[in-house]
Amino acid sequence: MVALVSSKKALRDSPDLLIKSIHILYFGDFDPSGEDMVRDLQKRIMLYGAPTATVHKIALTKDQVKTWKLPPAPVKKSDKRAAKFIEAHGDISAVELDALDPEDLQNIVKTTIEGYIDPVKWVAADAATRDDREQIDQKIEEIRGLFL
């Protein structure tokens, strides 16, 4: 809940974010709660006043569970979302995100984020940042020279 509260504060304090397209990448368990999280987050974000935000479930998906043959866990029948999950996915078991090899997860994160980056803009921003650093370093040296 801390993340959601701080996210709400960030959205409120940064109105310029509201005019941009915001993509929230969700990584969670393949279970009733994890599958419902996208809907829940999308609803909360709309309440926070960011209608341009879109929540994307990146992992774990049913295909990832099958592809990597991840170890199953029984679906908690006590979860009020269990029936809908079983209806949507058949008799497949739940799987925790922790079951995914950390290297595979890292590759999913990297590939997904890179898909949202414009490489031309990235290179230009990186060059501008280097130029700014060089100018700052020059100013620091000038100031040091005044005191030596």
How many Å separate Cα 32 from the centre of its chain? 19
Single-letter amino acid, residue 5: V
First to last CA, the chain: 52
pLDDT value at position 86?
Answer: 87
Q: 13 vs 81, which has greater pLDDT? A: 81
Pick the more confident residue, 102 or 18: 102
The residue-averaged pLDDT of 69-84 equals 89
| pLDDT higher than threshold 60 for residue 4 | no
Domain ranges of the chain: 2-117, 118-148
CA–CA separation, 148 vs 143, rounded Å?
9
Q: Rounded distance, CA 100 to CA 14, Å? A: 35
48-83 b/e (C-beta count within 10 Å ≥ 16 → b): bebeebebebbbbeeebbeeeebeeeebeeeeebbe
Closest CA to 26 of 17, 13, 38: 38
> 46: which 2 tokens?
């709309």
- pTM summary value: 0.71
In tens, the pLDDT along 14-63 reads 655 555 678 899 999 999 999 999 999 999 888 887 777 889 999 999 99
The pLDDT of residue 6? 62
Residue 75 or residue 91, greater confidence: 75
Q: Is the per-residue pLDDT at 83 higher than 50?
A: yes
Using alpha carbons, list the distances in angstroms from residue 32 to 1, 13, 94.
19, 33, 8
Q: Please state, rounded to an integer, the average pLDDT across all residues of the chain.
A: 86
- Asked if the peptide bond before residue 18 counts as cis, ω within 30 degrees of 0, the response is no
